[in-house]
């Protein structure tokens, strides 16, 4: 009897059915009143008592196997039928595809890239984990400059030669990497993530994004810088946008300037965004310091150039009137879904 039951279990596992009627026939054949299982249970009554336990377990397994098989066959047939009937109604509206939208920072980054590539800039990238040389020394930062301080910079690894591994605090490091590996003329923009050891608030974050620009050739002047940036401001914020350059200081540019655009919210009249001044600061810029050119092996007697750098968060805030930096990183769909553009 043992072999018979085992044989039946194997058979049950191999059962197939293509219609619901077949499943019903299988059920009657095995579980019906005159079905196989009832016959076997009848035979079981006369099994000698020392074999009862073993055969009883087997018999039970057979019953469970049949029940599971019938359930599985039934389910697969129902599924096939359902998908058939769904496909049959060709007039049914299609299931809606939920389209995602690009992050506002990506939209603005892409737009800035587009504006500069139209006048011949190419995109360069550099590593986020940098070293002291590319972030500070090659950019003419004196050894005691406060930007190198632990309070600003995330140090990854202290190295004996002083060229510590750091998370880059600005994308200006890509200027150095490009000058080290390419010969002028160089005309690049470098978008990327930067890191500073700052407390998170509405106006500051420890991770943010910048776009760096660098143009080096023979005879590049401050007038070229001004014209490139005016073109950018008009493309980004509208044809009527004005720019103004204020003297400033950066170790890697001489002279250095900060660029303001006329406030696009009040058209220069003065409002709470521009704090009544009519102007908004958007980037730092200047003529590349000869020390920086020389540090990367470019002859400063032959070549000159300009550089600029801006925060993508800041530009996005101004373009879309976003008041809190933290919104960019919280991934709240209600915020993110509001931004559409061709970029």
Binding residues vs ligand DAH (CB under 6 A): 170, 172, 212, 250, 253, 284-286, 307-309
- Residue 309's Cβ-side half-sphere holds a number of Cα atoms within 13 Å equal to 20
Q: How far is the CB of 284 from ligand DAH (least distance, A)?
A: 3
Comparing CB distances to ligand DAH, the nearer of 179 and 285 is: 285
Least distance in angstroms from the C-beta of 283 to ligand DAH: 7
SS3 breakdown of the chain: % helix, strand, coil, rounded to 5?
45, 20, 35
Residue whose pair of structure tokens reads 């595809």 in the numeric block: 97
- Please report how many Cα atoms fall inside a 13 Å half-sphere around the Cα of residue 190, on the Cβ side: 27
Nearest approach, Cβ of residue 147 and ligand DAH (Å):
9
Please, what is the minimum distance in Å from the beta carbon of residue 175 to ligand DAH?
7
- Closest to ligand DAH by CB, 147 or 336: 147
Reduced to 3 states (helix: H, G, I; strand: E, B; else coil), residue 207 is: strand
Rg (CA), the chain: 36
Beta carbon nearer to ligand DAH, 308 or 339: 308
Query: Of 191 and 309, which has the nearer Cβ to ligand DAH?
Result: 309
Residue 131 vs 212, nearer CB to ligand DAH:
212
C-alpha atoms less than 13 angstroms from C-alpha of 296 in its C-beta half-sphere: 30
Beta strands in 75-223 (DSSP E): 122-123, 129-131, 155-157, 165-167, 186-195, 207-217
- We find the least distance from the C-beta atom of residue 286 to ligand DAH, in angstroms, to be 5
């Amino acid at each position: 009897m043992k072999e018979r039951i085992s044989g039946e279990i194997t058979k049950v596992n191999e059962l197939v059915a293509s219609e619901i009627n077949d499943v019903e026939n299988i059920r009657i054949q095995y579980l019906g009143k005159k079905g196989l299982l009832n016959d076997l249970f009848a035979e079981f009554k006369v099994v000698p008592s020392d074999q009862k336990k073993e055969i009883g377990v087997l018999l039970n397994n057979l019953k469970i196997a049949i029940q599971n098989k019938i359930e599985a066959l039934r389910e697969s047939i129902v599924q096939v039928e359902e998908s058939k009937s769904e496909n049959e109604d060709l007039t049914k509206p299609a299931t809606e595809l939920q389209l995602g939208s690009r992050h506002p920072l990506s939209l603005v980054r892409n737009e800035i890239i587009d504006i500069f590539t139209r006048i011949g800039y190419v995109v360069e990238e550099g590593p986020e984990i940098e070293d002291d040389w590319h972030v500070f020394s090659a950019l003419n930062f004196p050894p005691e400059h406060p930007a190198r301080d632990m309070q600003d910079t995330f140090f990854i690894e202290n190295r004996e030669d002083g060229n510590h591994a750091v998370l880059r605090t600005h994308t200006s490091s890509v200027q150095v990497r490009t000058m080290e590996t390419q010969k002028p003329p160089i005309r690049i923009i470098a978008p990327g993530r930067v890191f500073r050891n700052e407390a998170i608030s509405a106006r500051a974050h420890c991770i943010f994004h910048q776009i760096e620009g660098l143009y080096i050739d023979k005879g590049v002047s401050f007038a070229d810088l001004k014209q490139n940036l005016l073109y950018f401001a008009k493309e980004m914020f509208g044809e009527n946008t004005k720019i103004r350059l204020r003297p400033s200081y950066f170790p890697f540019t001489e002279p250095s300037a900060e660029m303001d655009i006329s406030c696009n919210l009040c058209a220069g009249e003065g409002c709470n965004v521009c704090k009544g001044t009519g102007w908004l600061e958007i980037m730092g810029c200047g003529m590349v310091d000869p020390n920086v050119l020389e540090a990367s092996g470019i002859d400063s007697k032959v070549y000159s150039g300009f550089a600029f750098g801006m925060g993508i968060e800041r530009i996005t805030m101004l373009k879309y009137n976003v008041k809190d930096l933290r919104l960019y990183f919280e991934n709240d769909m209600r915020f993110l879904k509001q931004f559409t553009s061709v970029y």
